Amino acid sequence: MNGSTDRTPVVIAARRTPIGTAGHALAGVDLVGLLRPVLRALVEDLGPKAPGVDDVVIGNCRGPGGNPARVAALAAGLGTAVPGVTVDRQCGSGQEAVHQAATAVLAGAVDLVLAGGAESASTAPWRLARPTTSTGLPTPYDRAPFAPSEIGDPDMGPAAESVAAMRGVTRERQDAYASRSHALTLAAARSGAFDAELVPVGGVVSDERPRRLTEAVLSRLRPAFVPGGTVTAGNCCGVSDGAAAVAVVAEHLRATLGVPGLALRGWVCVGLDPNTPGLGPVPAVARLLKDCGTELAEVGVVEMTEAFAAQVLACTDALGLDPLGRDAARVCPQGGAIAMGHPWGASGAMLLVRLFSQMVRVDGPRLGIATCAIGGGQGLALLAERVG
């Protein structure tokens, strides 16, 4: 792991909206409406001594198109001189935005970037494919392909079932993990652990989805994707609305401002079989640790996008982690997307916000990892170290 240099990228502020279930609490707020208050809050957190923002990089998966990063930067009052770019790495888009910001800072191209992601599933446009049949009528367009059909292009639910079967992740373990996620999230919310990171939106001040769900209740739910399967609506995430972003600066600027932060020591993206995309964190974390010369035992917290309990457990099994036992305090220790929801383009950035709160706001573990699986067979991982 490299030591700090003047150009080391460091996260010094991190904010997010509450997460709303699609069609409910945040249903009337569009993509820019979610991003605007988060960007404003970051600028306020940076304070008057910080220089101007050099760029805004935002991940989005299923939005209106165009360049919502630029639109949001203007709507947030950052000024016409601040550019913006929108990136799409599917449900890793928010984390990819942070990776790109960190790369630009490390290269010396910029000193201060606001990076993150947003998704408004509630206001995402309905799309129609151009006519391809003899009727001459357009047909509903659900999603872009994750991979060529001849290789395999499963939806995420059936893919999670494949991973569960391949890795022997039982229904009972999945339900136990889902119950844990809700319980931890509710406990964290009650303790005020989310207060400093949250930015109210439209009168919504807290995450909408978390609730008390016992394993007994979860066990009564039917399989959601495959007859006789193990993945249910209870042990996977919900379709959601939300935004999250962080301020990434060069180390010399962090030192000048005299604030603590998360030094980004390494970040990787890997590819794998599109038929088992949920396993993406396994090779991503392995490569990250090798590149940084770090052992997983040194890492105090691992934040992983909880798209499906099956996928999280398959990955943690492969990495030698036990979130239902000895590593309960290390893996998503305050819950995750199963309880909070999964606003696709924002979820990767949510991981960085959660690391910041657990490592910097409360002087927590020295090292943390953010990692997520991506439709189409990719995995992202980032290593952060508390500094200052």
Which positions are catalytic?
Answer: 91, 342
Asked if 154 and 298 count as a contact pair (C-beta separation under 8 A), the reply is no
- Structure tokens belonging to residue 242: 């939300």
